[in-house]
Chains A and B, each alone.
Chain A
Amino acid sequence: MKITRTALLASVAAAILTAATSAASAQAQVARTLEQVKSRGFISCGSNPGLAGFGMPDDKGTWAGLDVDLCRAVSAAIFNDPNKVKFIPLTAKDRFTALQTGEIDVLARNGTWTQSREAELGLLWTGINYYDGQGFMVRKKLNVSSALELSGASICVQQGTTTELNLADYFRSNNMKYEVVAFATSNEAVKAYDSGRCDAYTTDASGLYAERLKLVNADEHVVLPEVISKEPLGPSVRQGDDQWFNIVKWAHYAMLNAEELGVTKANLDEKLKSPNPEVRRLLGAEGDFGKALGLTPDWAYRIVQHVGNYGESFNRNVGEGSRLKIKRGLNNLWNKGGLQFAPPVR
């Protein structure tokens, strides 16, 4: 008797849970995101509460960063205004829930694109706006120019992360010895490295550049060129709304195409008169390529006008124009030795 009652209770609870979740997701799918966004008057963008160069509010509370620029680009394409964005700071734990439940329209929060996240969480990555990967930082005076010369080194690392695992794999597969010095937080690991406790510090390359700024003498340290793991970072959207997926995807591609074609914030109006058909199609001088996306013909023009091309955004937020001074590396355009490639607008 008791068992049946428990079972009954459990099944009722389960039924309520499933009903509630399926109602929520069904409702999220039926609604067309673009129409919702237009009637609401702004897009909701899930962002990192604070990651130097990628997304954080400045001292006036204005958000800036590479990920932030992507949201601004989408806003510029839809509203001709880069500021119609509501940034919702999300922690690593509640970011995907917020996207699944429709609380945000796009998640631009340095999320790593993995198979399980797309397949299990019902999300789609629209692209990769930053190719990241685990790297090493060493002191310049060690005279090391490659991670392969780090055999026998002691390496500071944050405990219990995939970082530690990647480190072990890399050294084992290259038959090198090393001594791992693990710390509970990245802050402690950096402090230990700075005080000379280890020869090298390892984490994701973008993090290395940000951490380097905190060191006593930032100029005495160098980030090695090797990247030993794949961390493709990009914005993601919910499955089930292909139009919205396309808009976010092409906002990124428009910025890449603009850079490839040499269109910048400064020479935008000049380029509008360019005879180059690719430029003319991108900027909407020829054809109406925005229409099928649900946008205006000058959608890409608006993006470059308000946000700039990918190179400009990269340079301003994380590259030479910022204190992070991250090299383009893998994030260079495909025709300049990098991986950033955008399909053409035609």
Chain B
Amino acid sequence: MASRASGAYLRTSVSPDLPPPARVGGPVAWVRENLFGGVLSSVLTVLSALFLVWVTPDLIRWLFIDAVWSAPDGEACRAPGAGACWAYVRAKISFFAYGSYPRDLLWRVDLTLLLGALLAAWLLWPGARRKGLGLLLFLVAYPILAYNLLHGMADSLRAVLRGLADVSGSAALADVAQNALPVVGTNLWGGIFVSLLVATVGIVVSLPLGVLLALGRQSSAPVLRMVCVVLIEVVRGVPLITVLFMANTMLPLFVPEQWSPDRLMRPLIGVAIFASVYMAEVVRGGLQAVPKGQFEGAMALGLTWRHRMALIVMPQALTTVIPGIVNSFIALFKDTTLVAIVGIFDFLRAVDTQRLDPEWAGPSISATGYVFAAAFYFVFCFAMSRYSLMMERRLARGHAK
């Protein structure tokens, strides 16, 4: 053994792998394959590069180098050669974010948004525990809390507190019942917070309602099926703008003033119904993709209809259509800008209005405002799409290719 081990011609370990030839690996190969793969590809690469070289320096100069970062009014932004007027965005940011919401009560909006973000993070975080509790809080407790915080304490809650104050004889409690959380009318709401509100209501309502409508459409009960089909086809057959106009221009003509819903509530309901019927069709697509054998297998196990749907069919159907669902959400988020046409100051409308302010009006103001708005919408939509991609990968592990 010893003599063989000392044999100089024997290797004691496996020889290391040689790197692949430069032609198939490394950056040079990557460039050759992806950027100069053929004549067409090469031409496009060169053209794109030229385009970037042509556009980028000017864009960067306008956006950053020549930009006015802080100024008391629009004077500096109107100077010749000035770029984007970020000072204007800074001056108007509170209007962009909150609309006309009373400035001393902004904590109510902040608190609502913070709680919403925390709850959403709980629900969306893949490893979080007790999601059932989170969902219950988000769907039941949170909307009630948000209403009381944003709009003001509900009369019923005031009455309860007043009753408690009478029983306990506490003056402090009576004061709270009387004065805490004064009402802030929705005519003062606006900005990013209204955009998020409309989108959140649309998203939160549309998913469960869409599932129900999709199931209803496939139901064997003819009346139920007819109702769902008619609702889906009618609402899907008209543009959202029409729904909003009907809600804000026609509805008040038919309903006495005191019964007609709040001006913000009307588009909220319209958007929620509109999003739901689109969601219903997306979910129906998912249901159709579940093989019949899954239904039959579930039936053979003796599961009830509810269990069949909740445990076997829906998880598969919804996983299949995640891209479609998120697509609807992203579209809905951007559609929230349409509420502007019925006189609601959503984020885009707030930007659009403030660029007319005579103090600031100037050649670069509109562009700055719109770039800011575009960046905001992009960040939100891109985040949504990335999240959905991640969820897709996690959930699709079962049938990964």
A and B pair up: yes
Chain A contacts to B: CB under 8 angstroms: 17, 20-21, 23-24, 27-28, 49-53, 56-63, 86-91, 93-94, 97-98, 100-103, 187, 194, 210, 213-218, 322-324
Q: Known: A49-B345, A97-B253. Is A89-B187 also a contact (CB below 8 A)?
A: yes
In whole Å, how far is B144's beta carbon from the nearest beta carbon of chain A? Answer: 25
Closest to A317 in B: B358
28 A-B pairs with CB atoms under 8 Å apart are A21-B254, A23-B256, A24-B253, A24-B256, A50-B349, A50-B352, A56-B353, A56-B357, A57-B95, A57-B100, A57-B353, A58-B95, A59-B354, A59-B357, A62-B100, A88-B263, A88-B343, A89-B343, A91-B341, A93-B249, A97-B249, A101-B252, A210-B358, A213-B361, A214-B361, A214-B363, A323-B358, A323-B359
Residues of B within 8 A of A52 (CB): 356-358, 361
Q: Report whether A59 and B248 are in contact in the complex, using a CB–CB cutoff of 8 Å.
A: no
Closest to A322 in B: B358
Starting from the known contacts A61-B100, A62-B100, A194-B363, 9 additional A-B residue pairs (CB-CB under 8 Å) come to A17-B254, A28-B257, A49-B345, A50-B349, A53-B358, A61-B102, A88-B263, A94-B343, A215-B363
A133 and B354 alpha carbons, distance in the complex (Å) = 25
Asked whether any CB of chain A lies closer than 8 Å to the CB of B91, the reply is yes
The answer, among A27, A87, A101, A323, for a CB contact under 8 Å with B253, is A101
Residues of A within 8 A of B366 (CB): 187, 214
In the complex, which of the residues B92, B353, B358, B362 has the most CB atoms of chain A within 10 Å of its own CB atom? B358
Interface size on B, residues (CB 8 A): 46
A247 and B356 alpha carbons, distance in the complex (Å) = 31
Interface 1/0s, chain B 40-59, versus A by CB < 8 A? 00000000000000000000
In whole Å, how far is B350's beta carbon from the nearest beta carbon of chain A? Answer: 9
Residues of B within 8 A of A20 (CB): 253-255
Residues of A within 8 A of B263 (CB): 88, 103
Residues of B within 8 A of A194 (CB): 363
Asked whether any CB of chain A lies closer than 8 Å to the CB of B399, the reply is no
Residues of B within 8 A of A97 (CB): 249-250, 252-253
Q: Which B residues from 166 to 189 make CB contacts under 8 A with A?
A: 185, 187-188
Residues of A within 8 A of B252 (CB): 24, 97-98, 101, 103
In whole Å, how far is A223's beta carbon from the nearest beta carbon of chain B? Answer: 15
In whole Å, how far is B196's beta carbon from the nearest beta carbon of chain A? Answer: 17
Q: Report whether B253 and A56 are in contact in the complex, using a CB–CB cutoff of 8 Å.
A: no
The answer, among B78, B101, B343, B359, for a CB contact under 8 Å with A91, is B343
In the complex, which of the residues B94, B344, B361 has the most CB atoms of chain A within 10 Å of its own CB atom? B361
Closest to A88 in B: B187
Asked whether any CB of chain A lies closer than 8 Å to the CB of B98, the reply is yes
In whole Å, how far is B206's beta carbon from the nearest beta carbon of chain A? Answer: 26
A23 and B258 alpha carbons, distance in the complex (Å) = 13
A323 and B187 alpha carbons, distance in the complex (Å) = 28
Closest to B88 in A: A59
In whole Å, how far is B340's beta carbon from the nearest beta carbon of chain A? Answer: 8
Residues of A within 8 A of B78 (CB): 218
Residues of B within 8 A of A53 (CB): 358
Q: Report whether B257 and A27 are in contact in the complex, using a CB–CB cutoff of 8 Å.
A: yes
In whole Å, how far is B194's beta carbon from the nearest beta carbon of chain A? Answer: 12
In whole Å, how far is B264's beta carbon from the nearest beta carbon of chain A? Answer: 11
Q: Which B residues from 181 to 206 make CB contacts under 8 A with A?
A: 185, 187-188, 190
In the complex, which of the residues A62, A88, A101, A217 has the most CB atoms of chain B within 10 Å of its own CB atom? A101
Closest to A96 in B: B249
Q: Known: A60-B103, A62-B100. Is A24-B353 also a contact (CB below 8 A)?
A: no
Residues of B within 8 A of A23 (CB): 256
Q: Report whether A87 and B353 are in contact in the complex, using a CB–CB cutoff of 8 Å.
A: no
Asked whether any CB of chain A lies closer than 8 Å to the CB of B322, the reply is no
Closest to A31 in B: B257
Residues of B within 8 A of A98 (CB): 252
Asked whether any CB of chain A lies closer than 8 Å to the CB of B235, the reply is no
Asked whether any CB of chain A lies closer than 8 Å to the CB of B83, the reply is no
Q: Known: A60-B94, A93-B245, A93-B249. Is A27-B256 also a contact (CB below 8 A)?
A: yes
In the complex, which of the residues A194, A216, A323 has the most CB atoms of chain B within 10 Å of its own CB atom? A323
Residues of B within 8 A of A94 (CB): 245, 248-249, 342-343
Closest to A215 in B: B363
Residues of B within 8 A of A103 (CB): 252, 257, 260, 263
The answer, among B99, B249, B362, for a CB contact under 8 Å with A61, is B99
A62 and B263 alpha carbons, distance in the complex (Å) = 19
Residues of B within 8 A of A213 (CB): 358, 361-362
Closest to A19 in B: B254
Interface 1/0s, chain B 249-288, versus A by CB < 8 A? 1101111110010010000000000000000000000000
**9 closest Cβ contacts across the A-B interface?**
A61-B100, A50-B353, A213-B361, A323-B358, A101-B252, A52-B356, A20-B254, A89-B343, A94-B249
Closest to A53 in B: B358
A24 and B258 alpha carbons, distance in the complex (Å) = 10
Closest to A20 in B: B254
Closest to A324 in B: B358
Residues of A within 8 A of B94 (CB): 59-60
Residues of A within 8 A of B365 (CB): 214
Q: Report whether A24 and B254 are in contact in the complex, using a CB–CB cutoff of 8 Å.
A: yes
In whole Å, how far is A51's beta carbon from the nearest beta carbon of chain B? Answer: 7
Q: Report whether B353 and A214 are in contact in the complex, using a CB–CB cutoff of 8 Å.
A: no
Residues of A within 8 A of B254 (CB): 17, 20-21, 24
Closest to A325 in B: B358
Q: Report whether A61 and B343 are in contact in the complex, using a CB–CB cutoff of 8 Å.
A: no
Closest to B359 in A: A323
Closest to A21 in B: B253
A45 and B323 alpha carbons, distance in the complex (Å) = 45
In whole Å, how far is A94's beta carbon from the nearest beta carbon of chain B? Answer: 4
A53 and B102 alpha carbons, distance in the complex (Å) = 22
Q: Known: A61-B190, A101-B252, A213-B358. Is A90-B91 also a contact (CB below 8 A)?
A: no
Residues of B within 8 A of A90 (CB): 343
Closest to A187 in B: B366
Q: Known: A86-B187, A323-B359. Is A101-B257 also a contact (CB below 8 A)?
A: yes
Closest to B94 in A: A59
